[in-house]
Amino acid sequence: MFLYITVLTIFKLVPFLYTCILYPLTFSILLIPYMNRKGFFRLTSFLISISFPVAVLIFSTLTKRSFHTSIDIIYYIIPRLLLLGTLVIPLILIDTRHKTSLISAILINFLALLFYDYVLDLFGVGFGSLQLTTDKYSLINIFIFLPYLLILFGIVFLTRINIRYEKRVQKLLEEIRGKNTELEEQKNYIEKIHREISDSINYASRIQAVLLPDSSILKDYFKDYFILFKPRNVVSGDFYWFSAADNKIIFCLADCTGHGVPGAFMSMLGISFLRELITRGQLSEPSEILNKLRDEIINALKQRGRQSDQKDGMDLSLFTLEITTPYNKPDKSFELQWAGANNPCWIVKNDNLRELVPDRMPVGIHHLMDRFQTIRIHLEKGDKIYLTTDGYRDQFGGPSSKKFMSRQLKELIIGISDKPMAEQKSLLENKIEEWRTGFGTEHEQTDDITLVGLEI
């Protein structure tokens, strides 16, 4: 193609300006196979579809300009037949799903056929410009007939490329279908495993719920109460537990290492040890219970203080509440004995909050292994006790996506402490949900959330 254009230019059969137009056109056609290999199939199909009618128009003009006075009629028939044939090329090369490209290519080809004579007249080689002859010997002029042969060859060649492309696409589609089938099988397998795991976790949740004590017993020892219990997953690493007898109740709220299934295992371990120490061992001193519980946890987890040991354990707050005056006296006095491992206890009296500060060590192996200490205070009717794990205050959210923090939680509790306990629970739950989701960004629940309120 380049050689043909160069020869025409050297012998001055075409002006140099036409050569400057033909070289880019030819070069763009030669780029089509390369672009196909690079994956630009839709673009190359469109370029092939519209390049042939443009090439026919150019070569027809050049061929007719090479004659000075007359031209054989066959050279007027062949281009029209080629242009008519190019109307089929878009249907062969362009997928019918790409309607815009397909309609555009057909329209361009149809316009090339429609304005064929008009273009020839612009270059002075129309019907009225050259005399038509029927000299059959001009048919053997292969030099003149060559561009049309090249166009036909190009159509066949690029159509074969397109067929190979279609076969390649079909092969890829078969591979994709095979992969989809494999993915579907894996998806079904994963869903099956997920159902089995979910069923197991749901069953573990029921077991954990059975281990938690019946909260209705608290009505016998407190005027009012609430327990806000929101596991991050189905099962929780937080747990509450209490034991009551005569004029004394022991209440514990604990936050075990982790959440979900690992935390739930730790919580079951903690409940079992507390039941053993308090119910069977008859322990009631909070610090003694925490010291003994720490020993049991360390032995159960085989913690020896080595660097490689897991630092599993629990933070908890535990109190013993005892009525120190006989039941028949109207003004009863209550003594609260409390000990804490990283988790505090808040006492609200007359809209004032007092914080009982815990020992800064967990129930488990730790670099600090001092004895837990008991704090004793006297309470009166109407005083309120609040115990919480770190899940509420560590929840991310709000306008700046920050933690809720203890200070804000204390202010919230002081503000609602005069309301009934059931209403307090509702307000606390709504507040943390609003904090988590109500400021344009929905944050995941960070940890298990447990908050207990008890009114003397």
**pLDDT, tens digit, for every residue of 22-35?**
666 666 666 656 66
Residue 84, pLDDT score: 65
HSE-CB at 265 with a 13 A cutoff on CA atoms is 6
Residue (of 296, 314, 300) closest to 366 by Cα position: 314
Say what the pLDDT of residue 433 is: 93
Q: Which domains does the chain have, with CATH numbers?
A: 2-179 (no CATH), 213-455 (3.60.40.10)
Total residues belonging to the chain: 456
Average pLDDT taken over every residue of the chain: 79
Least-confidence region, from 102-111, 329-338, 371-380: 102-111
Q: What is the mean pLDDT of residues 247-256?
A: 92
Give the C-alpha separation, 9 to 214, whole Å.
102
**What is the reported pTM?**
0.63
Which pLDDT belongs to residue 167?
Answer: 76
75 has which bridge partners?
A: none
Structure tokens at 146: 């060559």
Which pLDDT value is given to residue 143? Answer: 44
Considering the chain, what percentage of its residues have pLDDT values greater than 90? Answer: 34
Rounded mean pLDDT of 104-114?
A: 73
Q: Which residue has the higher pLDDT, 145 or 230?
A: 230
Contacts of 120 (CB under 8 A, 6+ apart): 60, 61, 64, 126, 127, 129
Question: What are the two backbone dihedrals, phi and then psi, of residue 387, each rounded to the nearest 5 degrees?
Answer: -120, 140
Residue 126: name the closest of 60, 82, 78, 55 by CA. Answer: 60
**Whole-number percent of the chain with pLDDT over 70:** 64
pLDDT for residue 319: 96
Half-sphere exposure of 291 (CA within 13 A, CB side): 12
pLDDT in tens, 390-424: 999 999 999 988 999 999 999 999 999 999 999 99
pLDDT range class, residue 111, cuts 50, 70, 90: confident
**Is 121's pLDDT higher than 80?**
no
pLDDT digits (tens, 9 = 90+) for 168-201: 777 888 888 888 888 999 989 999 998 888 888 8
Average pLDDT on 53-66 reads: 64
Q: What is the pLDDT of residue 55?
A: 67
Note the pLDDT of residue 414: 95
